[in-house]
Structure 1
Amino acid sequence: MVHLVTEGISIMVETFYQPTQSNPLNSEYLFAYRITIENQTMYPVKLLSRHWHIKDSNGTHREVQGEGVVGRQPIIEPGDSYQYTSAAGLRSDIGKMYGTYLIENLFNKKKFTVLIPEFQLLVPAKMN
């Protein structure tokens, strides 16, 4: 698990290789990831958008941008957290992801960027 705090917003990431939804013979590898966003500030925040960088070990680099996460723009009260699970497909058995969230402070309406820590996507057999 990786963890990073930016401006009082904590991001924790766990990853899971999905062998039953992968096809190594066709260079198709699916990874799920679970993100926990914890609001450690004194004000409510709203997650407005995301911007991901997804890199395969074969040199492929993709960017994904969009509103919210998994179709939602959650509001997270002080001391609360929001968790979601999503997935990414790679064309190699090793890769990484990192990115940012655009967050709005609902108290003063100011927007700020929160870093999503870089995390590895790795087929378990590669760890031996």
Structure 2
Amino acid sequence: MTTTGMITGTTTAPAAGPARTSAGMTESERTGAHTDEAASLIAGARDRIDALDDRIIGLVQERMAVSAVIQDARIASGGRRVNLSREMEVLAHFRAALGKPGTSLAMTVLELCRGRV
């Protein structure tokens, strides 16, 4: 592809520019970095985060399955689906490990595992 200069009438080839990703963005644009070195570091760290997120999702799904077994056993024995004292223990555990945001995370995990009460 070439461009024609409007004033001089010359024809020039477009600049090659930085390599672009499949989404049409440079690695620096995609990562928000200002240097290639930082962009590379960020891209690698994001790959690691994506892998960690996949593991977290797998663990939550495993927790959901174990929770379903517990709920089924509790209901089959004549108990309630949810044990509130146990949920308070889980909330306290997350809060102690992660601070106040841990409580929100625990609430989400509990909701995923038992459904809304």
Q: TM range, normalised to the smaller chain?
A: under 0.3
Say which structure is richer in helix: 2
Say which structure is richer in strand: 1
TM-score normalised according to structure 2 size:
0.23
Computing the radius of gyration over CA atoms, which structure comes out larger, 1 or 2? 2
